[in-house]
Structure 1
Amino acid sequence: MSVAISSVGATVPTGEPTDPRDLEQGARPKGQVLWPVIAVVVTVLVAASRVLVTPAFYFADDTQTGTAGQWWRLGGDLLSGQLPVLDPHAWTAGNYLAEGQWGLYNPVIWVIAICTRLSDDPVAAITTVKILALGAMCLGSYLLARSFDASRPWSAAAGVLVPLGGFTVYMDAPSWTTGLLNVAVLPWAWWALRRLVEQGRGPLPYLLTTSVLVTFGYIFGVIVLIVVLGESLIRAAVQRDRRRILTVLAAGGFAALLTVTVYLPGVLTAPVTIRNSSAIVNSGFLNADLTDVLAASTATVTASIHSWGTEATTAPLMYVLWALPALTFFRPSRQLQLRLIPLLIVGSVLLLTVTAPDQIGPIRWPVRFIPYLVLVVVVGFAAIASEGRRARSPRAALAGAMAILAGASWVSAVNTPWEWRQVAIAGLVQAVGLTALWFVVFRAVPKRIPVRSVSALIAAGIGVILVAPQLYFFPATPLPRLPVQNDTSAMNAVPGGVTDDVIVVGNIYAGWQGAATYAERLVANQWYFSHATVSSLYTVLPYRTYVTDLCADLRGATCAKALDTLMSIDSHTRTQVATLLGVNSILVMKDSFPKGLPALPTGWRVADDEAYTWTLSRDRPIPTAGGVAWTSAATRVETIAESSTGITLRVDEIGPSPEVVLSRLAWPGYSVAGAQLADSTRGYLLTLDMSSAKVGDTITLQFRAPGWTVEMISLAIAVAALLAWPIASAVLRRRATSRLRAKAATP
């Protein structure tokens, strides 16, 4: 085995074995590139095949209503030379640093956002991004499997099989984009950590991959990384390996610094949002029980996971690996069992999490950890199969595998009896595949044929074959796919003839399946494509009192009473609520008003009466959100400067109880010089107490994300580590090499 010089001068294994497994066909120099290339090509082709059946397969639900508009907006801001930190016009959706998932610190997201902005077809652009992400997931899984000493053919098989996990295919890939990107990068980060800690190699791959992973802003991948780091630290401590302990601590410290930067704004903002919860709740929504786990080897079974409007989500979310019963074929050596301890520990934690309550504080829906469990199981299987120590009794091994298959199929059929055909088809394909694997592993084949290469090809091949019945029974995600317009120019023109700012009133989900309705309205973050400034956007951090006042949900839908609220007079300011919000136009969903539009107050008119919506407009437009909405009696201020993150006012008059209400949400992080922050009006509008001000004074209001100083210090230290650690490691490595050469040259 070759060796390398660690960053502290010790010689450690490089992890590049020279054992008989690598003398197979796949280990020749060209095979070192050929196997992973084949795996990535197969993954991309399989991913693309889903588009042939369902053209918008990767453009559903949260991708339509969240990601697409988000990337469009971010790309536009980047092209204009800025990052969006806060947008008063977006109201509850406008606190972008607290949202986290905008990826404002992530260069990969920057590139994707710019490409999306430059594309006229968001479906094609986002589909391309997602297929490339699946390719990256494949290659990362290959590298991780190699780090656990899986052979190249079996590592390639793992690369093909991991992206075929049911949750990845039917939830993350079509809808939850940040989830997909997390799962694509996590194996790279884990491989890079093992390379750094176990092999003593340079830190740059770990620093880069971890930076990308954490700054996506999706907590699930970060939690898995924490588990991986914790396992590495405990194992190093048990073995009393000082170098590895220090290395893991340094690696964890780097990830922690970035985590503080990305997530602290959301944590400190949570108290004013609906996410401020520490409750542990199990309503059975999107969590799995032990019978669902038994569906892990069946590619066409839905299990019994309850979700939106159904007791059994119509997709094989629990599918992990068709070949799981084939574990009976192998007898891992003691040495291999020790190597697989990290996978065993991480996998056990993930399994417990997947079957946990569906809400643990702010963490919802633990089935979102399934793709990481798929990664652990498939990589472990590849390592076991690569060693190739066969079970002592071939017949017992085959009988055991078939018994497991039969038992799992029976439980699946009992859970969802209406799917017996799907269970039977998948079981038949699995039985054929298991028999083929058994024959290759236990029966004589020509010596010139590398057994492990053939078995790996069978494992990957059956996994790919099972895509066909999947596509037949489940051609698309069970999540909603809105028949929206797919070109940006069409969305730019919706709605027509409005004056900013605009708010949507009514149930945006009513009639969502009607394609014609999208000529008059958009949904959630699709409004970022509009030429108008619309506040009814998507947010993961709804401001509690604001959404309560307007009975709004996180995608911008409201109840019909929201119109009454907007037209009502605020009791404190004696001003219309719509005026306090800087609203000039209201887009009303007709389905929410079956008895017709109520009478409008003076100053408002119906500007447009279309098939599905009414557009209400003011007779005289007012200033939009972000500025002064109201001042108390005998108090007058003049706006000197205004930006998305602040405003500067000059005091012209001071009344007896001077107050200024701004058309901004009172997010944590605002500070004011020359006045004081007062209790917010209506529980959410930023209000200034001017009692300490004098005529002629300048009042400066500024927003910085809460914890800003700590976040920027953390980011600065992380960037410094990213630059300095690889250089220091290379210098120490070079010195250690020089000492070894000098010692070897001494007679």
Structure 2
Amino acid sequence: MISASTPNSATDAPAIPAPGATTHPNGAVWMVATVLATVTGALVPLIFNPRFYFYDDTAAGAYGIWYEIGTKLRGGQWPLFSDTGWAAGNYAAEGQWGLWNPAVMLVGLLASVASNAVVFTTIFKIVLLAILASGTYLVARRLGSNPQWAAVAGVAVPLAGFTVYMDAASWVTGLMVFSLLPWAWWGLHRSVFSRRNPAPALIASYLLITIGYVHGTLMLALLIVSVLIQCTVARQWKLLLRTFAFGVIAAMIALTVYLPGVLTASVTVRSSGVQNTGFLGIDLTGLASSAIGSSLPQVAGWWGTFSPVPLLYIAWFLPLLALVSLVALKRIMPQLVSLITFGVVSLALTLAPSDLGPLRFPVRLVPYVALVVVLFVAVVLSRASVKTIGPKRIAGVFTLWLIGLYLAVAQNPTISKAHLLFAVLSAAGLGLVLLVLKRPSWPVIRRAGLTGAAVCVIGVSLATSVLQHHYFTGAPLPDFHMADTVDQYKKPLEGTQGIAFVSGNPIPLRPAIWEESLLSNQWYLSDVQVQNLYSPILFAKYTYDLCMDSHGWTCDHAVDTLFTKDPTTGKPLVDLLSIDTVQVLKPAKPTPATELSNRKVPDGWTEIHRSDLSLVWVRDKPLMNTGGPVWTSSALDVSTVSNSSQHLVLHVSSNSGGTVVLSRLAWPGYDVSGASMAEPTRGYLVTLAIPAGAEGTDVSLTFEPPAWRFLVVTIYLAMAGGLAWCIAESVITRRRSRSEIRSSANRTLVKQ
């Protein structure tokens, strides 16, 4: 017997408990067990690959951001905008810097004082997985699952293939928002349907949104809509208004985080069209084999046509769905409207075209599909399982298992040994679980019951993880083999001055190149300011001009572009960009023009380093004037009074008007007094038109993200509204409790 509830005599279905209202004396114990099992599972990859959690975007992107945030905070600065960051310096437009997120700020402070980047990142990601597991457990309990199946769900979701091999290994911002969504879900369900204080939901949602990863915010919006639909279907209008109020607060927060990016999109590389390239798209065949740990589905990516890791694996115990009574399932479906809605739309979005405007890679939403599937299994096995497990049910379980196994083998028949081992493990696990559930009266398993089944499921889940990492030791994304310790990032370009630019691509040269150069946001860990930083949005015309990728690497001929004279100003581009140090990397496919040995030192520069992998030139007389004037028309004379990332003051010393070119990108949001904005030079450098007769006056240039003051007010209003709601709810709850106590006391006196 699977469910602890009493079955109905007329059917084989158990009675249905009210969702979120069930309590269990060992609930806290099961939640602790869930976290401990999850941490154990998170340590498994490290047995086979100690750097598992430091792949790709984590190493090249996220860690550098955390380090820069912490460094700026310790220096008394808030990281809103940096002119020295060039295409990556508009933090508000990028969104993913977590400018409004106290948790991200704390992570940044800790990262900036950590000595080992790999160890710090590993610990942080394991904490995130534990947060994900505990939140999943709570959501499952809110939806009516018993503690045992809720624990199974809590352990299974962090072990799902995409979460392990993509988000945990590399795309850490995806893991951050995903780990918070179950907490927002639990808090929202608790606040709406139990009329409890909205503080947990508001806090979790605020942290999720302000991380700035748009896919997580979209899924939170879908969750809110799903709850609204459930309230509408049930005609619970007061609860609908409560959910709507929550949605308004969340929308105000999201507006502040994402509107700067929307208003800046016109100068970035973000796409606005809808197309399907098939890149990182999935199909139903891959999802249908998601119960097999060795399934390598057809997911086209940087690796080729088929994923080299079990990217769409969800959980090995999914065939246990055959134990669900359709009669009981039908009865509880009205209580699961939000779960079903969220799951169906998540699946539809996962199967969507590869590019939906600025949103790319629908495979990013696979974790949310996995979350819904596992929650559904946990809830229906708790609330709608059959009373008696007969031969037909057992046959149904193994039929589902066999279908998944066939599809897994069909997609990649070359790893037959792996398929055999995973098949034996899952078949044995299913058989053992069925035995425990079918024969609870046997002396050996009499005391085990449902607890024994849950322990078995969790144990096989962890064993499956061990087997997966034995065969698939790393993520399908690149390991750049960058240094572990922070001190090692200080060595490249050590001792140079001013802004540096790196021409070429270091990836084919790794790992030897890391003694001489760095990649993307790892430059934040260096004492050298470099233009080649990571940015998901970029400044289109600047990056096209220099043939720069989002990771900061360039074409081999970028150095030639730097030393080519601009036709408008007559100055070489390297001067207009205020570059004082140039590093040229060895081309992967050298030509006579790009071969390092044929590179001659430009006039006014000195070569300070040359090796088989790179050479470095420094300017004889460093400009050190990033953000300031780099060219003026012949009749104009200006001098710099003050210069910072967001504010520049120039003093005009001539009576004739003219134009001034500044070495800063023309992001939307600049405002000037004493002059006017002219058409950007080369399409991307800020250019000011100073009127005649301005002698002796100052020109002031200020940057704020578009609509910034309005957005700051908006997010503070959202915070104030959320706080007021929480306080009011607390006051009302206390008054209601006091009233109930007085009423109870009065009833007692009347009886006496």
> Structure 2 length normalisation: TM-score?
0.93
- Looking at structure 2, the residues matched to 15 and 735 of structure 1 have their Cα atoms a distance apart, in angstroms, of 26
Query: Could you tell me whether the CA contact under 8 Å between 1:669 and 1:703 is conserved in 2?
Result: yes
Give 1:557's aligned residue: 553
| Residue 256 (structure 1) aligned to one of 247, 251, 254 | 251
Equivalence for 1:320: 314
> In the alignment, what sits opposite 1:678?
678
Alignment of 1:391-430 (within 5 A): 394-430=390-426
How many angstroms does 1:351 deviate by?
1.2
2:478 counterpart (480, 491, 497): 480
1:387 & 1:62 partners in 2: Cα distance?
A: 41
Check the 8 A contact 1:154/1:456 in 2, yes or no. Answer: yes
2:179 matches 1:184: yes
Once residues 393 and 460 of structure 1 are traced to their aligned partners in structure 2, the CA distance between those partners, rounded to angstroms, is 21
Aligned-partner residue type, residue 615 of structure 1: V
In the other structure, the counterpart of 1:615 is 616
Deviation at 1:14, TM superposition (A): 9.5
Alpha-carbon contact 2:288-2:407 (below 8 Å) kept: yes
Amino acid at match of 1:449: R
Task: Give the Cα–Cα distance (whole angstroms) in 2 for the partners of residues 158 and 243 of structure 1.
Answer: 31
Q: Secondary structure at the match of 1:641?
A: strand
Aligned alpha-carbon RMSD (Å) = 1.8
Partner of 1:505: 503
Tell me the equivalent position of 1:712.
712
Partner of residue 699, structure 2? 699
Q: Which residue of 2 aligns with 1:625?
A: 626
Q: In structure 2, how many angstroms separate the alpha carbons of the residues matched to 1:116 and 1:708?
A: 28
TM-fit CA distance, 1:16 = 5.7
Q: Unpaired segments of 5 or more residues in structure 1?
A: 1-12
2:241 aligned to 236, 240, 246, which one?
246
| Alignment match of 1:496 (pick from 494, 498, 512) | 494
Q: Distance in 1 between matches of 2:206 and 2:213?
A: 13
Letter of the structure 2 residue corresponding to residue 694 of structure 1 = A
Following TM superposition, by how much is the alpha carbon of 1:392 offset from its aligned partner in structure 2, in angstroms? 6.2
Mean alpha-carbon deviation: is it higher for 529-538 or for 620-629? Answer: 620-629
User: How far did residue 393 of structure 1 move?
Assistant: 6.2
Q: Find out whether 1:36 has 2:37 as its counterpart.
A: no
Correspondence 1:115-130 to 2 at 5 A: 115-130=110-125
The equivalent residue for 1:96 is: 91
Deviation larger for 591-600 or 459-468: 591-600
Cα displacement (A) at 1:106: 0.7
Q: Deviation per CA, 1:250-309: give whole Å up to 9, x if none.
A: 11011101101111111111110110x222221111110111111211112211111104
Equivalent residue for 1:308?
A: 302
Q: Residue type of the partner of 1:250?
A: A
Deviations 1:585-637 (CA, angstroms, capped at 9, x unpaired): 10100225553343443212322112310001212111331111111111011
Paired residue for 2:5? none
Q: How does 1:423-442 map to 2 (within 5 A)?
A: 423-442=419-438
- CA drift of 1:190 comes to 0.4
Contact 1:390 1:442 in 2 (8 A): no
**Aligned 8 A contact 1:650 1:697 in 2:** yes
Aligned to 1:8: none
For the residue of structure 2 that corresponds to 1:699, the secondary structure is: strand
Q: Distance in 2 between matches of 1:429 and 1:45?
A: 19
Query: Which position in structure 2 is the counterpart of 1:641?
Result: 642
Q: Give the aligned partner of residue 574 of structure 1.
A: 570
Shift of 1:517: 1.5
Q: Which residue is 2:280 aligned to?
A: 286
How much does 1:321 deviate? 1.3
SS at match of 2:529: coil
Aligned to 1:340, the other structure's residue is in SS state helix
CA contact (8 A) 2:279 2:361 kept: yes
Query: 1 CA distance for matches of 2:78 and 2:176?
Result: 21
Alignment of 1:15-26 (within 5 A): 17=21
CA distance 1:738–1:14, change in 2 (3 Å): farther
Q: Is 1:87 aligned to 2:85, yes or no?
A: no
Q: Does 1:157 align with 2:157?
A: no
- Once residues 285 and 679 of structure 1 are traced to their aligned partners in structure 2, the CA distance between those partners, rounded to angstroms, is 37
Partner of 2:44: 49
In the superposition, the TM-score normalised over structure 1's length comes to: 0.94
Identity %: 35
The 1:197–1:629 alpha-carbon spacing in structure 2 relative to 1, beyond 3 Å, is: same
Q: 1:175 aligns with which of 170, 180, 194?
A: 170
Query: What is the SS of the residue equivalent to 2:523?
Result: helix
Whether the 8 Å contact between 1:675 and 1:693 is mirrored in structure 2 is: no
Secondary structure in 2 matching 1:663: strand
Cα distance in 1 for residues equivalent to 2:655 and 2:565: 24
Matched residues in 2 for 1:88 and 1:48: separation? 41
What is the one-letter code of the residue matched to 1:375? L
1:457 pairs, out of 450, 455, 460, with: 455
CA contact (8 A) 1:150 1:383 kept: yes
Work out the CA distance in 1 between the residues paired with 2:711 and 2:46.
41
Aligned: 1:724 with 2:718: no
- Deviation, structure 1 residue 738: 4.2
Pairwise mapping of residues 232-243 of structure 1 onto structure 2 (< 5 A)? Answer: 232-243=227-238
Equivalent of residue 523 in structure 2, options 511, 515, 527? 527
Q: Which residue, out of 224, 243, 260, partners 1:265? A: 260
> Which amino acid counterpart does residue 360 of structure 1 have in structure 2?
L
Which residue is 2:656 aligned to?
A: 655
Alpha-carbon deviations, 1:377-398, whole Å to 9, x = none?
A: 1111111122263176621111
Give the deviation of 1:406 after TM superposition: 1.4
Aligned residue for 1:85, secondary structure, equals coil
